[in-house]
Amino acid sequence: MKRWTARLIPVALTAAAAAAGGPAGAQEPVAAGPHHRHSPALPSYSYPSAPADCPPPVAATPHVAPLTPGAPTTPAAPAPAPLDLSPLTTSAPTMGDASPDFGGLSAGAGLGALAAVAPGYIDNALPLDLVRVRSDFGYRMNEPDRAEFFYPKCGCVRFVPPTNPLFDPNAKGPPQPETLVDSYQELDLYLEKRIGERFSVFFDLPIRWINPRVNGNASGISDISFGFKYAILYSECQVLTFQLRTITPTGDGVLGLGGENWRVVPGLLYLRQVSDKLSVFGEVQDFANVSRASDFTGNVLRYGVGFSYLLAETRSVRVLPTIETVGWTALSGKKFADGGTAVESANGDTVVNLKAGVRVGFGDTQGPGFFSRSDFYVGYGRALTGEFWYEDLLRLEYRLRY
């Protein structure tokens, strides 16, 4: 026990000296007892104190990874520039644009979406630079001399005795009373030229082939016509046009090739683009007589409405089905009835036809909208009334805009 006590006393003294601020590692000498053995000095310990300039504790902050000493720092990103909200300059719309653009109506060849739209039977309201070739095939015409609209009063009445009530030395139609015209064909050559934005002039040359049941077959030039169009209303999506046509008596009435009357035909034509695909159109025209070849001569009012729809479109082809209803009402004149044995008034006779067809446009789009340089139309017409000019009609048409 004495031995362990002797060993612990120096350690205690050393700790006490350190606590009292004595020099580190200082030891007091210890007298050796008679039984004391020399012990090696124990290692000294120093206890570092906290630096005097240590900042006071602060509230905890989110952890931020320490920077590596000497590593370059990334400069702060500059503030973003303000957005430029001024309108962008865009090129002309392409065929795939969903919305219509009619801004090119007055730009020459770039006539906008309206230029691709054309009725099959109703006259077109839009003044154009146009060449058109049209062929009609009509079947079963039972009263061709009604109001002398297709051909004149039967020439047979020139040869009856003067005492006969039917006698008429001015009748210029075929020599035999006709029961039925089985068929006829007309090839129509049409040229239109724009003069300025709203005005155009046109010339129309028809060539007719006729196949009556009683009278002989014949062919030749029919009644040539000419005239002008003036667009009264001419906006980006609609056109209202006044048209005046003059029909000349160039067709030979005896052969059934013309009406043998001068006529002027004032009319109003309308065309409207309802949407980028749908268009509507209409007409009202009065076939008024300037001369009267006989008492059969009469005024005929023609009218119609229709629509077309852009069904399909690629870069070079556009398909537009068309539906039209066209009517004629005789305002005066007469006709032969019952196979040419009786004369009746034609006043009030009304003919209504339903027309259906499709127009296919070819060539790359020219200017804004769905404008194609050329197109082809095929259509069929059917009489809906007991009165008719023809019972069935097939129409083929090719148009080229220049």
Tens of pLDDT, residues 281-290: 999 999 999 9
More confident residue, 98 or 136: 136
CB within 8 A of 329, min separation 6: which ones?
300, 301, 303, 348, 349, 350, 351
- Is 393 a residue whose pLDDT tops 60? yes
* pLDDT (mean) for 362-380: 71
More confident residue, 253 or 37: 253
Place of tokens 């006590």: 5
- Is 314 a residue whose pLDDT tops 70? yes
- Is 363 a residue whose pLDDT tops 90? no
More confident residue, 224 or 114: 224
Percentage of residues in the chain with pLDDT exceeding 90?
Answer: 54
Tens of pLDDT, residues 148-180: 999 999 999 998 898 988 899 889 999 998 989
Greatest alpha-carbon pair distance for the chain in Å reads: 191
pLDDT at 7: 54
Tens of pLDDT, residues 66-79: 444 554 555 555 55
* pLDDT (mean) for 220-226: 98
- Is 27 a residue whose pLDDT tops 70? no
Using DSSP's 3-state secondary structure scheme, residue 319 falls into strand
CB within 8 A of 348, min separation 6: which ones?
329, 330
pLDDT at 271: 95
Q: Is the dihedral of CA 368, 321, 376, 399 positive or negative?
A: negative
User: From 3.40.50.620, 2.60.120.10, 2.40.160.40, 3.40.50.2000, which CATH number describes the 113-401 domain?
Assistant: 2.40.160.40
pLDDT at 10: 54
pLDDT at 48: 39
Backbone angles phi, psi at 280, to 5 degrees: -125, 155
Distance, CA of 241 to CA of 283 (rounded, Å): 9
Give the burial string for 186-198 (b: 16+ CB within 10 Å, else e): bbbebebbbeeeb
Give the range with max mean pLDDT: 81-90, 107-116, 317-326, 338-347. Answer: 317-326
CB within 8 A of 138, min separation 6: which ones?
183, 184, 185, 186, 389, 390, 392, 393
Determine how many CB atoms are found less than 10 A away from the CB of residue 156: 19
Q: What is the mean pLDDT of the chain?
A: 79
Read off the pLDDT band of 86 (50, 70, 90). very low
Distance, CA of 239 to CA of 268 (rounded, Å): 10
- Is 352 a residue whose pLDDT tops 90? yes
| DSSP class per residue in 257-313 | S---S-EEEEEEEEEEE-SSSEEEEEEEEEEEESS-SSTT---EEEEEEEEEE--EE
Burial class (CB in 10 A: 0-12, 13-18, 19+), 48: exposed
91, two tokens: 């090129």
- Is 97 a residue whose pLDDT tops 50? no
- Is 307 a residue whose pLDDT tops 60? yes
- E-assigned strand segments in 79-180: 130-141
Using DSSP's 3-state secondary structure scheme, residue 138 falls into strand
* pLDDT (mean) for 331-338: 90
- Is 204 a residue whose pLDDT tops 70? yes
Pair 388, 335: CB distance under 8 Å: no
Residue from 318, 310, 364, 367 nearest 104 by CA: 367
Give 330's strand partners: 300
